Amino acid sequence: MSKALRKQCLVAYLLILGLLWAFESLGQQITLRNGAVSETVLVHPNDTLRYQINNYSSATDFVVTFSRWERVALQTADGVWLRSGMGLPLYQRDIPYYQPAFRLHIPPSAIVPLKLIFQSELQFMAPNATAIEIKPLDVFYQTDQQRLLIQGLFLGVIIVMALYNLLIYWAVKDVSFLWFVISLIGIGAYFSFYYGFGIEYLWPAAPRWDMYCFAMIVPATNLSRLYFTQTYLQTAQLLPTWNRWVKRLLWVEFGVFTTGIFSYAFQWDSLHWLVDWVGTFGVITLAIMLAAGVSAYQRGFRPARFFVLANALFVLGGILFIFREMNLLPESFLTRYAVQFGVIAQVVLFSLGLANRLNRTQIELAEQKVEKEKIEQQKAQQAELNRLKDKLLSVISHDLRSPLVSFEAFFNLLTNHFDQLDKKEILKLTQSARSNLEQQKQLLNNLLEWAKSQWEGSSFRPEVLYISKVMARTISLLQTTAEVKKIVIESELEESIAVFADREMIEFVCRNVLHNAIKFSQPSSTIRVHLTLTKENAAVLTVTDEGIGMTEEMLTSLLRHESGVSTKGTANEKGTGLGLVICREFITRNNGQLSIESVLNQGTTVTVKFPASLD
């Protein structure tokens, strides 16, 4: 323990001694009150006492209440015996009130002799001095309504804040929130017992449980407070010395809790020392909580500031309340209600602290989520690049090498056997070589474009261009290829439509889409090219062929952006599937959209849509 902390503990100890010395001279005053009448009454178990109540009030109906007794019998002037006491079920009491109470009718200016018998099997329920108080009936009910209202509001605050922090726990799964919620429930349960809500509303037929339940509620609440201290202040990592003390106190509180259970189960007369145990270790628990919070704050743990602020008033009020219950301090507004003000301050400040922690946690989780998504995206991109790399290696090793072998065989044949070939054979070989050369050219273009698109820092130079002119040049360029298969290309292009895009990328897209249409079209068929402007100011280019079409599975693979999907053309033209991959990327970079509709053996329509430029 640090020197500063020892000094703080010493100051707190001296403060408590000062409070005890200040209240010591007051002693224990037990009074009988009726208007201005007051006297001290000492009552012992099984005593039979006689009192005279002087009625100075205009009221005729009164309520007489007593402090803690297990059974009280009262004989009226008419010889009728009334029963009450904390050891009786609520329905057997003369007034269904959590304390012993009787309703009496006293005529004006009358002196009514009363006979009282106090009995208790439990030592704790037989106090050395008993407070007897008489109130007019209307005053009693008014006071009781105030009790119900004030304590009901207090319990309402506890319930609302417990639910609020439970929602936070469900959101972040931070166990410290759960322990705080349990401690709030424990506080609510204790004050429900203390102010009679338990016997009046929860267990009216279980008076013995009502007398013993505090011995289980308070230690259980202290256990949750200690676990909350451990998890919130992270004592295992930050405060190893305090963490050892907390662990020891956890075992002690568990022992008190277990003793309370056995005392209730086996009906041990142990309440008189259970009160001392519960009170003593309750004070120690509160003191350790506050001291650990101060120590954590001194070590620079910022969340501890809420912990210390929230606990300061609660710990002071709790110690005063416990000392009053242990008869070390007299009854007063401060000793009775300071703990409840401390509880409200604690739940509000703790909720602010936990909400602050929730915000930080949510920010951290959001950052982690963004980072995770970024990593996943990078992994997906890397996996795609790896697939494309494998495809590229396959193309280089096979699709580029095979045509070269064919060219070598063709030139060897021309060189070594030219005089043995007729014109038809030479023409056939030349056309075959030309077809291979065209496929090789298209393949090299695709490979170069793919490599350029993957090159980090590749240029992207958008400009205003007329897509009709780009498409017209593309049709002119591929016209010869179409004529080989006797394909007719019909075009309907609106010349005024402009887009803001990269010229080289748009030229590649137009060239690739039209080349694929030629490749998969049946000989002597028609390809229709249309360029229109929609009402939404979008330039729409469609290329429709009458070719072999695609199955739904092939189309789904294409639309799922699966690379490497390729099919031979109607003249056995080879492909790699790289062209469509590059087209998708170029269209996306230019804020465009690609869609494909296809019917097997009927044809395919490829639609490319770009935002039209207003310039």
**Residue 612 and residue 608: Cα distance in Å, rounded?**
12
Residue pair 533/603 in contact by the 8 Å Cβ criterion: no
Give Cβ neighbours of residue 533 (< 8 Å, ≥ 6 apart).
Answer: 494, 496, 497, 539, 540, 612
Q: Which of 84-88, 282-286, 333-337 has the highest mean pLDDT?
A: 84-88
* Tokens linked to 500: 């803001």
Instruction: Average the pLDDT over 547-565 and give the result.
Output: 69
Instruction: Average the pLDDT over 286-295 and give the result.
Output: 90
* Tokens linked to 108: 């004006």
What's 67's DSSP letter? S
Position 601 scores a pLDDT of: 83
Main-chain phi, psi angles of 300, to 5 degrees: 90, 10
Residue pair 95/88 in contact by the 8 Å Cβ criterion: no
Q: Which of 47-61, 347-361, 538-552 has the lowest mean pLDDT?
A: 47-61
**Residue 309 and residue 316: Cα distance in Å, rounded?**
12
SS (H, E, C) 572-606: CCCCCCHHHHHHHHHHHHCCCEEEEEEECCCEEEE
| DSSP notation for 99-159 | S-EEEEE--TT-EEEEEEEEE-SSGGGS-SB--EEEEEHHHHHHHHHHHHHHHHHHHHHHH
288-309 core/surface letters (b: 16 or more CB in 10 A; e: else): bbbbbbbbbbeeebebbebbbb
Q: Which of 211-225, 317-331, 449-463 has the lowest mean pLDDT?
A: 449-463
Instruction: Average the pLDDT over 479-487 and give the result.
Output: 81
CA 173 to chain centre: 6
* Tokens linked to 576: 């790699």
- In order of 34, 129, 260, the CA distances from 38 in angstroms are 7, 15, 38
- Degrees to nearest 5, angle at CA 266 with 262 and 272: 70
Give Cβ neighbours of residue 46 (< 8 Å, ≥ 6 apart).
Answer: 117, 118, 119
Query: 40 vs 204, which has greater pLDDT?
Result: 204
Q: What does pLDDT average to over the chain?
A: 77
Tens-digit pLDDT profile for residues 504-517:
888 888 888 888 88
- In order of 283, 331, 346, 477, the CA distances from 338 in angstroms are 15, 12, 12, 92
**Residue 267 and residue 135: Cα distance in Å, rounded?**
35
**CATH number attached to the domain at 31-139:** 2.60.120
- In order of 144, 238, 287, 354, 560, the CA distances from 231 in angstroms are 40, 11, 17, 12, 47
Say whether pLDDT at 582 is over 70: yes
Say whether pLDDT at 301 is over 90: no
Question: Please, which pLDDT band fits residue 20 given cuts at 50, 70 and 90?
Answer: very low
Say whether pLDDT at 539 is over 50: yes
**Residue 251 and residue 187: Cα distance in Å, rounded?**
20
Say whether pLDDT at 151 is over 70: yes
Of 426, 378, 355, 346, the C-alpha closest to 186 is 346
Residue pair 481/474 in contact by the 8 Å Cβ criterion: no
* Tokens linked to 586: 């170029």
Question: Please, which pLDDT band fits residue 16 given cuts at 50, 70 and 90?
Answer: very low
Instruction: Average the pLDDT over 195-212 and give the result.
Output: 93
Position 395 scores a pLDDT of: 54
Q: Order the strands of the 61-66 sheet from edge to edge.
A: 37-40, 31-34, 132-136, 61-66, 101-105
Position 27 scores a pLDDT of: 27
Strand (E) or helix (H) holding 33? strand 31-34
**Residue 583 and residue 329: Cα distance in Å, rounded?**
86
31 bridge partner residues = 40
- Distance linking the first and last C-alpha atoms of the chain: 77
Domain residue spans in the chain? 31-139, 144-368, 462-615
**Superfamily assignment of 462-615 in CATH?**
Histidine kinase-like ATPase, C-terminal domain (3.30.565.10)
How much of the chain, in percent, has pLDDT values that exceed 90? 18
- Classify burial at 132, counting beta carbons within 10 Å of its beta carbon; exposed 0-12, middle 13-18, buried 19 or more: buried
26 bridge partner residues = none
Residue pair 224/245 in contact by the 8 Å Cβ criterion: no
Residue pair 567/578 in contact by the 8 Å Cβ criterion: no
Of 517, 454, 458, the C-alpha closest to 489 is 517
Label the pairing between strands 31-34 and 132-136: parallel
**Residue 135 and residue 141: Cα distance in Å, rounded?**
9
**Residue 235 and residue 248: Cα distance in Å, rounded?**
14
Query: 84 vs 173, which has greater pLDDT?
Result: 84
**Residue 277 and residue 280: Cα distance in Å, rounded?**
5
| DSSP notation for 182-236 | HHHHHHHHHHHHHTTHIIIII-TT-HHHHHHTHHHHHHHHHHHHHHHHHHHHTHH
- In order of 241, 333, 421, the CA distances from 416 in angstroms are 96, 120, 10
Classified as helix, coil or strand, 569 is: coil
What's 42's DSSP letter? B
